[in-house]
Structure 1
Amino acid sequence: MTESSGSKVDWRALWGSGDLARFCFINLGILLYATNETMVATVMPAMVGELHGVQLVGWSLTIYELGAITAGAATGRLVSYISLRNNMAIAALIYAAGAMIGALSFSMPQFLAGRLIEGLGGGALVSLAFVSVERLFARNIWPQLFGVISAIWGVAAFSGPLIGAIMVDLLSWRWAVGIFTLGGIAIALASLTVLNTAAASRPQASSGAAPPFPYGALGCLAISVLLIATAGVDIALLRSSLLLCLGLAGLVLFIRVDALKPRSRLFPSNLFSWRSPIGNGMTMIAAFSVATCSFGIYGPLLLTTLHDIPLLTTGYIIAAESISWSILSILVANAPPERERSIVVIGALMIACGIAGFAYTIPNGSIPLILVCALLQGGGFGVAWPFLTRIIVASAAPDEQTIASAAVPTMQRIGYAVGAAIAGIIANASGFSEGLSREAAATVAGWLFLAFLPLGLVGCLAALKIFSAANRPSLAAGA
C-alpha cells in the first residue's frame, strides 16, 4: 500500500509501486459492467428482430440489475472466505459465461438467463472495485480514487451505445454482446498477476474463523429486489403498487434479518440511523438514487411527446448529465479535508435543485434550462460522491469497512430499482395508463418530478446531519 502525503495523490509513487496499475485494473471491471448496461438498449432492436419476445424487452435491464444487486451485496462478505484476487477472477469468469450465453441465445428467455448470470458477475466486479480501494490504498487518497471511479460511469455512458452501434452496423448484435466474453476472460487472467499483493491474495478472515455466510439475508434481499423490479417492468397501477409495497416490506425485513447476525452482516451497522455518519450517508445515497431516476427513464419520452424535441437532442442532454458527474468528480477530489462538509452539502443542494428544476423545465420545454438542471443533477453527484463514499467507509467499524465499501454501489442500485418502479407507477397513475398522448404527457410531466421533491429534501437534510456535532466524534474515530 503506497502512502501519500496530505490529501494529494503521488501518482508517480503509485506508478513506481505498481499500485496505479492495480487501480487502473480494478476499474476495468466497472467499465465492463457499466458499458454493457448502456449498450444493450442500442442493440435491442436488432436482437428482438431475431429472437422475438418483444414483451420481455423490459426484463433485459431488470434481470441484469437483479443479479448485480444480489452479487454486490454478497461481495463484501465473500472476501472473508476467498481472497480479493480470486474473487475478481471468479466474478470475471461468471460475467464472461453470462455474456457467452447471451451471444449464443436463440430465444429471449435464454438471453435473459445469460443477462442474470452476467449481472451476477458484473455486480461483483463493481463492488470489488470499491472493496479494493478500501483494502489496497491509503485512506487519505480515497476521495481521489473514488472520484476516478465515478468518472468511469461517464465514460461508459458514451462507450456503451457507441460500441453497440458500431458492432451491429459492422457485424451483428451477437458480436456486440459476445465481445464482453473476451473482456471477462481477460480480467480473470490478468487478476492473477496484477493483484499479487498480500492484501489481495489472502482472505480477510484468514487470521481467524470466517463468519457464517448469510444465506437467509441474501435470499430475502434477492426476493425483495425481484418484487420491486417486477413492479417496474409491466406497469399496472394496482398490481405494481402491491408488488412495490411487498418489495419494500421485504427490504425492511432484510435489514432486520441482516442485523440479527453481526458477524455475517451484508450491510454495515446503523444503516439508516440519523445519529451516525454511516446512517446519514446511506440515507443520502438511497434518497437521491430513488429521486433522480425519472429524467433518465421518462425525460426523452416527455420531451419528444410534449415539445417535439428530437431524440438526438435529448440523448445529448442525458449524456451531459453523465459528463458533468465525471468531470466534477475529478475536479473536486483534491479538495482539502476541511472543505469536505461544504462540498458534500453543495453537491446535495445541486441534486435537489436539479430535481426541482425538472418539475418546471420539462413541462415548459426550455432546452437551455433542462440542460442546466441535468448538469446540476449530474454535477451534484460528482461533487458529493467521492467524499461521501470516504465518509461512509472511514466511519464504519474496523471489521465492517469492507462491507461498507461494497454497500455503497449496492445501495445505489437498489435505489435506482425502487425509483424506476415508483416513477412507473406515478406515470401510469397520472395519465399514461390511458395511452401516450400530449395531454397525458403534460399531466405526467408535472407530477413525475414533483413527487420526488420530498426525497430530495431528505437527501439534503441527511447531508447536513452527517457533519452535525453529534456525529463528529464517530467520524473522527473512523478516520
Structure 2
Amino acid sequence: MPRLLGIQFRTATIGIVGLVSLIAYEAMGNATVMPQAVSDLKGVSLYGFAFGGPLAISLIGMVASGRWADTESPSKSVFLGGICFVGGLLLASMAPSMAWMLAGRLVTGLGSGMLAVALYALVGHVYPPALHSRIFAAFSAAWVLPSLLASGISGTIAQLFGWRWAVVVVAGLAVPSLVLLARLRLKTRSAHAARPQDRHLIWAIVAAFGALALHMLGQAEDHGAAPKVVPVLQAALVVIAVAALYVSARVLLPRGTLLIQPGLPAAVALSGLSQGAFFAAEAFIPLLLHRHRGIALSVAGLALTAGALSWTAGAMYRARVHERVSTTSLLRNGHALLAGGILVSMLAIHPALPFWLAPLGWTFSGAGMGLISPTLSVITLAMAAPGSHGSVGASLRLSAAMTTTTALALSGAAFAALIKQSPSLAFAFSLGVAVVLATTGSLLAERVAIATGSAQK
C-alpha cells in the first residue's frame, strides 16, 4: 500500500501540505487583521470588496492554471502563482490608501487562483487513486496548525506592531514551500489532453470584470472609486455585470452546472453553494465581533480558529466513514451543519446575547465544510476524464469563486447601504445570504450521487 510520505511521494506531500498550510495562514491571518486595516485606511464600506475582489480576479488565474496543468504541467502555475501571491501581499503591506490595499489584494487573488487549481492538478499527476482520499484529508489537516496559531499570531502582531507587519510575515513564510514544489519534475503533457481553448480565458476575464463591477457599483460610491451615476444607469450597469457573469458561467463551467443537473454538474454547483456560503459568511464574522461587539482582534480571530479546526475534524471523520456512509448523506448533513452554524453565529449580532455564540456557531459550520469539501473533491476527481484533472479542478474552484464573489457583492452592497442606519440589520442581511446558499445545497445534495452510482457507497 503506497504511503503519502513514502520515498516516491515525500517531496510532493511535504510541498503540497506546506503550501496549503501557508494559504490557510494567509486566509486566517488576513481575515483577522482586515477589520483594523480597513479602519486605518478609512475603507469600511469597501470591506466586502476586500474579500470579493480577490476572488473575482482569481477566476482568471484558475482558468489559466487549469489550461497549463492539462497541456503542460502544474509547475508553471506554481511558479507564476507563487510570484503573484507573495508580490500581492507585499504590495498590500505597503498600502498608503484603500485603493492600494485593494490592488495588492487583487494580485494576491490572481496568485491564489493559480495555486488552488495547481494543487488539485498535482494530486491527479502525482498520486494514485488509492491515495486521493488521504491527500485531500491531509489538505484539511494542513489547516490545523494555522488554525491554532494564525489568528492569534496575526492579531497579536497587528496590536503590537500594526497590521502591515502581520501581512509581511505571511509573504515570508510562502517562499520555502514554493521552492520545494518548484523542484518537482512532472510529465509535461498528457496524451489525452484537450487542445487549449483561448475563449475560456477570455470569458474568465469577462467574468472577473463583471464581478468587480458589481462590487464597485455596490460598495465604492463613498470613496470615489466608482463613478457617480444616476440610479437608472446604475441599475443598467448592474444588469450588464450580472449578465456577464451568467454567460461566463455557462461557458466556463460544465454543461448543466447552473441547472444543477445530476453528476459532475451538480458536484461543481454544490462546490459553489457550500464554499460561497462559508467564505461569504467568514468575511463578516471578525468584523461583527470586532466592530459591532467591541471584541479584540486576537479574540475575534478565535472564531475563525474554531471553524478551521472543526473543518479538519469533519474531514478526518469523513475519511474514516466514507465507505460506510452515502455521498448523499455526507453532503446533505454537511450543508445542514453549515447553514445551522451560520444561524447560531448570527445570534451574536444582538448585544444582549453572549458574543461566544459566533465562534460556537462557526464550529458547526466548519464541521459541515469538513464533510462537504473532501467529498466533492474525491467525487469529481473520480469522474474526471484522463488528462482533464486541471480543467475539472478549475471548474470546482471557479464555481466556488464565482458564487462567493457574487454573494459578497450582494451582501457587501447591502452592508455598505445599511451600516450607517442599522448595523445589526447590515450584519443580519450579509450573513443571511450565506444561510440561503447553504440551505439550497442541502436540498439539492442528492443530485450529486444520482448519476455516479455512489448514493449507496
Is TM (by shorter chain) over 0.5?
Answer: yes
Is 1:23 the counterpart of 2:13? The answer is yes
TM-score by length of 1: 0.77
Q: Superposed, which structure 2 residues align to 1:67-466 within 5 Å?
A: 67-103=57-93, 109-153=99-143, 155-165=145-155, 175-193=165-183, 195-196=184-185, 200-204=186-190, 210-214=195-199, 215-231=201-217, 233-234=219-220, 245-256=239-250, 258=251, 266-292=252-278, 295-299=281-285, 314-341=300-327, 342-358=329-345, 362-363=349-350, 365-366=353-354, 370-427=358-415, 431-432=418-419, 435=420, 440-444=422-426, 447-450=429-432, 453-466=435-448
Give the structure 1 partner of residue 22 of structure 2. 32
Paired residue secondary structure (1:211): coil
Give the structure 2 partner of residue 263 of structure 1. none
Contact 1:92 1:121 in 2 (8 A): yes
Give the structure 2 partner of residue 262 of structure 1. none
Residue identity opposite 1:252 in structure 2: Y
TM-score by length of 2: 0.80
Contact 1:72 1:123 in 2 (8 A): yes
Paired residue secondary structure (1:75): helix
Q: How much does 1:313 deviate?
A: 5.4
More displaced stretch, 270-279 vs 55-64: 55-64
* Deviation by residue 1:130-156 (Cα, 9 ceiling, x = unmatched): 111122212233233222213434544
How far apart, in 2, do the equivalents of 1:183 and 1:306 lie? 32
Paired residue secondary structure (2:444): helix
How far apart, in 1, do the equivalents of 2:161 and 2:436 lie? 47
Q: In angstroms, what is the RMSD of aligned CA positions?
A: 3.9
Contact 1:350 1:379 in 2 (8 A): yes
Q: How much does 1:422 deviate?
A: 2.0
* Deviation by residue 1:281-329 (Cα, 9 ceiling, x = unmatched): 2222222333345643444555678777776655433431222112221
Identify which of structures 1 and 2 has the higher relative contact order when contacts are C-alpha pairs closer than 8 Å and 6+ apart. Answer: 2
* 1:312–1:172 Cα change, 3 Å: closer
Contact 1:81 1:210 in 2 (8 A): yes
How far apart, in 2, do the equivalents of 1:170 and 1:306 lie? 22
Contact 2:260 2:447 in 1 (8 A): yes
How far apart, in 1, do the equivalents of 2:44 and 2:356 lie? 36
How far apart, in 2, do the equivalents of 1:126 and 1:446 lie? 30
Contact 1:92 1:188 in 2 (8 A): yes
Paired residue secondary structure (2:269): helix
Q: How much does 1:23 deviate?
A: 1.9
Residue identity opposite 2:22 in structure 1: L
How far apart, in 2, do the equivalents of 1:130 and 1:283 lie? 17
* 1:33–1:243 Cα change, 3 Å: farther
Paired residue secondary structure (1:202): coil
How far apart, in 2, do the equivalents of 1:243 and 1:324 lie? 41
Is 1:65 the counterpart of 2:65? The answer is no
* 1:45–1:328 Cα change, 3 Å: closer
How far apart, in 1, do the equivalents of 2:433 and 2:94 lie? 42
Structure 1 regions of 5+ residues with no counterpart?
5-9, 259-265
How far apart, in 2, do the equivalents of 1:355 and 1:67 lie? 26
How far apart, in 1, do the equivalents of 2:316 and 2:74 lie? 26
Give the structure 2 partner of residue 261 of structure 1. none
* Deviation by residue 1:48-102 (Cα, 9 ceiling, x = unmatched): 899x575796454444333333212321112234322233223223333334444
Contact 2:120 2:389 in 1 (8 A): no
Residue identity opposite 1:461 in structure 2: L
Contact 2:89 2:171 in 1 (8 A): yes
* Deviation by residue 1:99-138 (Cα, 9 ceiling, x = unmatched): 4444566665455444333322232112211111122212
Q: How much does 1:22 deviate?
A: 0.7
* 1:298–1:67 Cα change, 3 Å: closer
Residue identity opposite 2:198 in structure 1: F
Q: How much does 1:25 deviate?
A: 0.6
How far apart, in 2, do the equivalents of 1:297 and 1:156 lie? 17
